[in-house]
Amino acid sequence: MAEELKLFRTWSSPYSLRVVHALKIKGLEYETIFEDLSSKSASLLQYNPVNKKVPVLVHNGKAICESLVILEYIDETWKQCPLLPRDPYEKAKARFWAKFGDEKLSSSIWNVLISQGKEQEEAIAAAVQNLKLIEEQLQEKKFFGGEKIGYLDIAFGWTANLISILEEIIDLKLVDEEKLPLLSAWMQNFSDDPVIKQCWPPRDKLVVKFQAMRESNLKTVLSQ
């Protein structure tokens, strides 16, 4: 019985990657449509008229938007390999930290990318504080989800993918093995997972992309 399952994504979008990870963990077959955000397809605009962004998951003609919303949809629709904890309190904690990751943590990391000098030093301090809070959630576990990758690992996946890219560009360490040992280990474990590894976007392309973002943002600040 063929189910229609389509994912609109870009090659680099970390939010799209979350959905890729979830679909792969659940062992689902799906069609990928790569979007060029400078020239969005009519289909994307039809399926996500409000935000006009990727990722969009289309399941039997119905469109679901916003990566964390899509993750929950996938988990509720396909019961194998559960992503979210069953216990409501553990679920609430996972949702809380995913939100923190997307709001406070990601903006603090962004600030490191687009700043320099003293401002960057301050940005780094703030980012490391946030990363410490994330690390505390790992405790003794291999993954945020426990023995296996779960919702929160997928939600934080962008850190495992992109922080090392940022470190290369700014030539500074954010996730120091000594200062953030558990998070460091988690990034390695997550990246080494066979399901995750096969989906990583090409590293050299990512470096070029984020280098360009840094330069254009620094130029904007200097010209103000």
Partner 1 sequence: MAEVKLFGSWGSPFSRRIEVALKLKGVEYEFIEEDIYNKKSPLLLKYNPVHKKVPVLLHNGKPICESVVILEYIDETWEGPSILPKDPYERAMVRFWVKFLDEKCFPAMWQACWSIGEEQEKAKEEATEFLKILEGTLSGKKFFGGDSIGMVDIVANFIAYWFMILQELAGIVVLTKEKFPKLNEWMNEYLNCSIIKENLPLKDKLTAVFQARFQAVAVAAAAAAPSVK
**Interface ranges with partner 1 (CB under 8 A):** 50, 59, 62, 64-66, 68-70, 72-73, 76-77, 88-89, 91-92, 95-96, 99-100, 104, 133
* Site of tokens 């280990």: 185
Nearer to partner 1, 10 or 77 (CB): 77
Nearer to partner 1, 31 or 76 (CB): 76
Which element (helix H / strand E) includes 184?
helix 181-192
User: In the bound complex, what is the minimum distance in angstroms from residue 65's beta carbon to partner 1?
Assistant: 6
Nearer to partner 1, 26 or 104 (CB): 104
User: In the bound complex, what is the minimum distance in angstroms from residue 4's beta carbon to partner 1?
Assistant: 13
Nearer to partner 1, 73 or 110 (CB): 73
- First-to-last CA distance in the chain? 58
User: In the bound complex, what is the minimum distance in angstroms from residue 201's beta carbon to partner 1?
Assistant: 25
Instruction: Spell out the residues 6+ positions from residue 6 whose beta carbon is closer than 8 angstroms to its own.
Output: 30, 31, 32, 33, 57, 58
* Nearest Cα residue to 48 out of 30, 66, 61: 66
User: In the bound complex, what is the minimum distance in angstroms from residue 84's beta carbon to partner 1?
Assistant: 11
**Residue 122, CB-side half-sphere exposure with 13 Å CA sphere:** 4
